[in-house]
Amino acid sequence: MNKRPISVTVLSLVFIAAGATGLVYHLQDLHLKDLKPQHPFQYEVIWISLVRLLAVIGGICMFLGRNWARWLCLAWLGFHVILSAFHPLGELVFHVVIFIAIAILLLRRDAGEYFQPAGS
């Protein structure tokens, strides 16, 4: 396996932390006794939690060198850019800047080499 760049290590930990923090925060709003199968989309906290779980999975697998995980993390962040388009302009700008910075770090040559299978 190629040596993991510090940027990938830091970003992996950031995605894990962001996903886990959001997961804990949003799961506090979930009351399983109130869930009714007739209204599966009534409790958006479930869907939000699944999205947060994707960040944790992406961060862990990116740390382990899985190429698909860096694309998952970029897609996760891109999803947040799209969502922030419906919020105040400052939030959209913030997410776009973060997306560009993280994309640059994850798509650099050293990161690309890390995500290549060993021996290729």
Are 77 and 99 within 8 A, CB to CB? yes
Q: What is the pLDDT of residues 67-109, one digit of tens each?
A: 999 999 999 999 999 999 999 999 999 999 999 999 999 999 9
Give exposure, 44-57, as e/b (b: 16+ Cβ within 10 Å): ebeebbebbebbbb
With tokens 């891109």, the residue in question is: 78
| Assigned token pair, 108 | 């650099």
CA distance 15 to 45: 19
Q: What is the pTM of this model?
A: 0.84
Q: Is 6 helix (H, G, I), strand (E, B) or coil?
A: helix
Mean pLDDT of 29-34: 58
* Continuous H helices in the chain: 6-27, 44-63, 67-84, 89-107, 109-115
